[in-house]
Chains A and B, each alone.
Chain A
């Protein structure tokens, strides 16, 4: 098997079948996730046209180093997350199957309109998943914003089509190279809005707080990790590689990214609920990743993105499980919760420290790389903002960790008797996978060369000047 289209259509097929095979939905989901994880190791890089019509006329799938890495990570994380929150997948199995298909489709497609279709599929699965919390006003908000966003994306895309006469990524990219992109502010910004709504950039992300803040362990981690990762990979594809941005737009996008970064961290600092802290941290990280992508840094950005989504998968699962069991996720009411759940606590801590970017954890490696990239591009101010954000991030994460680990009143020694009486039982799956992921974070931090050389796609990303080579670039007409 080498054709990556199977990553999309097999989950889809199983989704269609799952309507008929009601009782085996959960197994079908698991089969599809495992199939995809196996599949990502077998697929071979290249351009795959659908229906036999060559790009840019037909739709093609681009499997280059960038999208290969993306599908690799996203599929593995998807499998891990549904295994971690195994008990919650039953009701949403079909939705998750479609989501899996859509996520792979978004990452692989080489066509901007096809991307819109998959974006809609993924968004709709998102709307449905968000209704799980029964907080319908937030789902409604999400739906309206998502629809308007993708509508504006389509609007912008059609304007581009009217100008360039093509919908193919590589073709448009090729044609834009010899075009005065300063004239394309309106369509590109409209497309940006569409992706920014999903990618959680301030101020386009009014839905995030209500949806993430009430999500359970499965849905929270899916949103924060797999969904967010996918949309940011796509963001990087569209705005980092396909569309040629004018200097003005680069400045605008960087400004939006910086605002998102700082505002997100500051908002997280003011929060007490674990999930809200995490969601604002996710927002900030999205801003960071988005701004790095538009500055043209691909490799370090991907590293940082991986850091974000892997750690968020662990942390949101734990936070969601805590709030499912303890009926609250306010840190003040959960003091010392990790004293009775040490493995989970260690996983959470390692993830948090990695997200802050402390050494010996993977996050440090990505942070150093992105700083090197920014400094080589003489982007001192952005680097300074990132470091400022790190300080805030460190403050609130350490505050959270200290609360969750060491119960106690000010002026009294931390003692087991201050531990909250709310009980949280973590099941085997969560413990093992969370711990495994934190071990990976640790290993990758201690020896980044492991990541560099062993993740085959990563190596390619590292070695090439412009790691994204979309196939048949000179398809032309």
Chain B
């Protein structure tokens, strides 16, 4: 009975949301978006500060942002402040998880002794996954991906190692340091930009030719830092979740 009432309520609500959204002619229908009505059009031509008519892969150089991946250019350049906030969200969540679960002592996996295949396999596969992750965030400005998936991959590699190696927990504190280091450096880069050019998180390096690996100014650096930070934060979250209560 309750379910039906809720379904009816949500049905009515959904109807109004649909009609509220789609009866508005200014809300362009799915697929019919005209970028000229949006701020994104300047992101495509990279002409927020410099006027560019056209940007060509492998040819245009020294643009306001050198990333071939538009999403990356937004994430790390145009809206890099959001990204800083995003990293902070992850940071604070991992901190919260640590505050809640960090006091627990036991380890979830301690009962199941990892078998030989897992141990060896984990050790062999760890560098591969980690390298892929690093590749992803270093190439964030060229290919899909970037700091977050890259960092997550590192985290999953660490997770694997953690599951396989019982003595690995002792080394976890270094991740905290890495997290702290990466986060601080991210902010310091921003402050450096502020000091040199008057804008926080300014892209103070030359951007080079679009499509080159070392072309996007601070983007690769920031993405490496983001990747490291995200990786260590996610590692922290997961290891905390793998703890269990021990009876005192």
Q: Choose from B33, B39, B183, B197 the contact partner of A52 (Cβ within 8 Å).
A: B197
| Contact for B202 among A51, A92, A186, CB less than 8 A | A51
Are the CB atoms of A124 and B183 closer together than 8 Å? no
Q: Which residues of B contact A424 (CB under 8 A)?
A: none
A131 and B200 contact, CB distance less than 8 A? no
Q: Is the CB of A167 within 8 A of B89?
A: no
Across the interface, name the chain B residue whose C-beta is closest to A60: B81
Quick one: which of B12-63 are within 8 Å of A by CB? Answer: 16-17, 20-21, 23-24, 26-28, 33, 37-43, 48-49
Range of interface residues on B (Cβ < 8 Å)? 35 or more
Among the 9-residue stretches A94-102, A256-264, A403-411, the one with 4 or more Cβ atoms under 8 Å from chain B is A94-102
CB distance from B172 to the nearest CB of A (A): 13
**Contact between chains at B24 and A184 (CB < 8 Å):** yes
**Which residues in B have their C-beta under 8 angstroms from that of A18?**
180
A275 to chain B, nearest CB (A): 23
- A384 to B81: give the CA distance in the assembly, Å: 45
B91 touches A52 (CB 8 A): no
Determine the residue in chain B with the shortest Cβ distance to A124: B92
A50 touches B89 (CB 8 A): no
| Bound Cα distance A53, B50 (Å) | 10
Q: A9-B200, A19-B179 are in contact. Are A114 and B85 (CB under 8 A)?
A: yes
Is B239 in the interface zone, CB < 8 Å from A? no
Cβ-defined partner of B99 (8 Å) among A12, A120, A128, A187: A128
CA A114 to CA B201, docked complex, whole Å: 15
Instruction: Kindly report which residue of chain B lies nearest to residue A13, judged by CB atoms.
Output: B187
A51 B78 Cβ-Cβ under 8 A: yes
Query: In the complex, what's the smallest C-beta–C-beta distance from B220 to chain A, in angstroms?
Result: 16
Assuming the contacts A121-B85, A124-B93, A477-B39, asked whether A53 and B180 have C-beta atoms less than 8 A apart, the reply is no
When A58-B79, A165-B37 are in contact, do A9 and B190 touch as well, CB less than 8 Å? yes
Structural contact, B193 and A16, CB atoms closer than 8 A? no
The secondary-structure label for the interface of chain B is helix
Cβ of B168 within 8 Å of any chain A Cβ, yes or no, is no
Report how far A162 CA is from B33 CA in the complex, Å. Answer: 8
Q: Given the complex of chains A and B, what is the CA–CA distance between A6 and B194 in angstroms?
A: 9
CB pair B84 A53 closer than 8 Å: no
Tell me, rounded to whole Å, the shortest Cβ–Cβ distance linking B49 to chain A: 6
The answer to whether A51 and B200 have CB atoms under 8 Å apart is yes
Alpha-carbon distance between A105 and B85 when the two chains are bound, in angstroms:
9
Q: Which residues of B contact A117 (CB under 8 A)?
A: 82, 85-86, 89
A189 to chain B: closest CB distance in Å? 9
A118 within 8 A of B: yes
Q: B202's closest neighbor in chain A, by CB? A: A52
Complex Cα distance, B92 from A98, in Å, reads 7
CB proximity to B under 8 Å, residues A89-141: 91-92, 94-95, 98, 101-102, 105, 109, 113-114, 117-118, 120-121, 124-125, 127-128, 131
Does chain B have a CB within 8 A of A20? yes
Residues of A within 8 A of B199 (CB): 48-52
Tell me which residues from 155 to 190 in chain B have a Cβ below 8 Å from any Cβ of chain A. 176-177, 179-181, 183-184, 186-188, 190
**Contacts A16-B180, A121-B88, A162-B27; A167 near B96 (Cβ below 8 A):** no
- Whether, in the assembled complex, B80 has its beta carbon less than 8 Å from a beta carbon of chain A, the answer is yes
Tell me whether A45 is interfacial, beta carbon within 8 Å: no
Indicate if the CB atoms of B77 and A51 lie closer than 8 Å.
yes
Contacts of A2-20 to chain B: CB distance below 8 A: 3, 5-6, 9, 12-13, 15-20
A5 to B187, CA, bound (A): 11
Residues of B contacting A57 with CB < 8 Å?
Answer: 39, 42-43, 48, 78
- Tell me the number of A-to-B contacts counted with CB atoms below 8 Å: 169
Q: Mark B189-220, 1 if CB is under 8 A from A, else 0.
A: 01101100111111100000000000000000
Residues of A within 8 A of B95 (CB): 19, 94-95, 98, 128
Who on chain A is nearest to B183 by CB?
Answer: A16
Task: Using known A-B contacts A163-B24, A183-B24, determine if residue A51 contacts B193 with beta carbons closer than 8 Å.
Answer: yes
Cα–Cα, bound, A3→B42 (Å)? 26
A356 CB within 8 Å of chain B: no
- Docked Cα-Cα span, A304 to B141, in Å, equals 49
CA distance A477 to B78 in the complex (A): 16
Could you mark each residue 80-118 of chain B with 1 if its beta carbon is under 8 Å from any beta carbon of chain A, else 0? 111011101101110110011000000000000000000
Decide: B48 and A95 in contact? CB cutoff 8 A: no
Given that A13-B187, A117-B82, A166-B39 are known contacts, is A52 also in contact with B49, CB under 8 Å in the complex?
A: yes
Which chain B positions have C-beta within 8 A of A179? 26
Q: Which residues of A contact B79 (CB under 8 A)?
A: 58-59, 113-114
The docked-state distance in angstroms from the alpha carbon of A125 to that of B95 is 10
Measured CB to CB, the closest approach of chain B to A109, in angstroms, equals 8
Q: Could you tell me the distance between the alpha carbons of A101 and B187 in the complex, rounded to whole angstroms?
A: 12
Q: Which of A16, A54, A56, A477 has the most CB of B within 10 A?
A: A16
Taking CB atoms, residues of chain A closer than 8 Å to B179 are 16, 19
Assess the B184–A16 pair: CB atoms within 8 A.
Answer: yes
A395 CB–B CB distance under 8 Å: no
Q: Which residue of B lies closest to A171 (CB)?
A: B39
A50 to B86, CA, bound (A): 15
Contact of B48 among A53, A92, A159 (CB under 8 A): A53
A235 to chain B, nearest CB (A): 20
For A114, what are the chain B residues with a Cβ–Cβ distance below 8 Å? 79, 81-82, 85
Point out the residues of chain B lying under 8 angstroms from A20, CB to CB. Answer: 176-177, 180-181
A sample of 11 more A-B contacts (CB under 8 A), given A51-B77, A121-B85, A163-B26, is: A5-B200, A15-B88, A51-B201, A52-B199, A53-B78, A59-B79, A98-B95, A113-B79, A117-B85, A183-B24, A185-B20
Give me the 9 closest cross-chain CB pairs, A-B, nearest first. A186-B20, A165-B38, A16-B183, A117-B85, A52-B199, A20-B180, A128-B96, A19-B180, A13-B187
Residues of B within 8 A of A (CB): 16-17, 20-21, 23-24, 26-28, 33, 37-43, 48-49, 64, 77-82, 84-86, 88-89, 91-93, 95-96, 99-100, 176-177, 179-181, 183-184, 186-188, 190-191, 193-194, 197-203
Chain A contact residues, CB within 8 Å of chain B: 3, 5-6, 9, 12-13, 15-20, 48-54, 56-59, 91-92, 94-95, 98, 101-102, 105, 109, 113-114, 117-118, 120-121, 124-125, 127-128, 131, 159, 161-168, 171, 179, 183-187, 477
